[in-house]
Each structure stands twice: as structure tokens, then as C-alpha cells.
Amino acid sequence: MIEERAKKIKLLILDVDGVLTDSRIIYDNFGDEIKCFNVYDGFGMTLLYRAGIKSVIITAKKTNIVRRRAKDMAVAKVYSGYKKLEIYEKVIKKFKVRDEDVCFMGDDFIDLPVLKRAGLSVAPPEAIEEVKNSCHYITKKSGGKGAVREVIEIILKSQGLWDKVINEYKK
């Protein structure tokens, strides 16, 4: 059951393209990359942070846009590189967590090795079939359109933290 896995999560690790974005990369007239991020995902990351659960981004590409968005969302660390499993190994040591303490969300071949290790592996519905077949949960929301927030809500609710982090907003 997804909630049982979510109860154990101490660290959320996210891919970017196809997870925090809708997979599109837009270039402006100057050749600069533009990405669109979802405000619901961003606020979900804030709620996760307020609940005391850390987050990390592992992305294949190095971009200032991702670092900027990560800062806005209180992400603990951003790692870049194509060898995501090697980076994952460093992350779990740095944050002193085990595989079962980690939720990883990815959508493409490059994410498969980490998805197979994480205690809770998640993909958006647009992910490739091999990824979806390897995951514990497929979100109802699309990548870049609230999928990350959906997972965060599952984690926080399963850990009994949801009401605590949203109560101040309900006053």
C-alpha cells in the first residue's frame, strides 16, 4: 500500500524535466532556456520543508533556472549529472538515510536505477512505460501540473503532518 511506504519517507528526491516541468524546453531568441514550473508543486515543497522533510533535486543538466527554482522551494541541494545512481549514493550518505526512507520521482530511462532503489518510487502518467512499470505509484496529475504536490500530500497525510502544516493557512 502506498501510504505504508509514504510513512517512512525522510527525503524527497526529484528529477526536473517531466516531473517539475511538463517536459518541454523552450529557448528564447538569445538561446536561453526557459522552463515553466507549477505554483502548486512549489507550495507543496514549502509544506514539505515546514514539516521537516528535506528535498533534493537530481537533474542531468546543469542550469541556473533549476537552481533558482530550487532556492524558491527550499530544496536542500541540487545535483547535476547523467549518472544519477552515483549521485543518489552520495545523497543517501550525506543525508544519512536508507533506501526505504527515500521517495524518488522520475520519468525516463536515466531515472530507472534510482527508481528501483527508492523506498517509494513515483512517476507522472507521461513517463515512459519502463519507468511506470518500475514504480510503486503513478500520479494522477501530470508532470509540471501538480504531480509533485500530489506526492507531497500523500507523504504528509500518511505521516499525520498534513493538518499541522496547513493549519496556519486556514486562519
What range defines the domain where residue 125 resides?
2-164
Residue 171 falls inside a structural domain:
no
33: which residues sit within 8 A by CB, 6+ positions away?
25, 26, 27, 63, 65
Residue 67 falls inside a structural domain:
yes
Residue 45 falls inside a structural domain:
yes
* Helix H or strand E segment including 65: helix 64-72
Give the pLDDT confidence score for residue 18 in this predicted structure.
95
Residue 26 falls inside a structural domain:
yes
Residue 28 falls inside a structural domain:
yes
Give the pLDDT confidence score for residue 148 in this predicted structure.
98
Q: Is residue 171's pLDDT more than 80?
A: no
Q: Is residue 62's pLDDT more than 90?
A: no
- State the total domains in the chain: 1
Q: What is the pTM of this model?
A: 0.95
Q: What is the CATH number of the domain that holds 93?
A: 3.40.50.1000
Residue 155 falls inside a structural domain:
yes
Residue 170 falls inside a structural domain:
no
Residue 16 falls inside a structural domain:
yes
> What is the rounded average pLDDT of the residues 130-146?
98
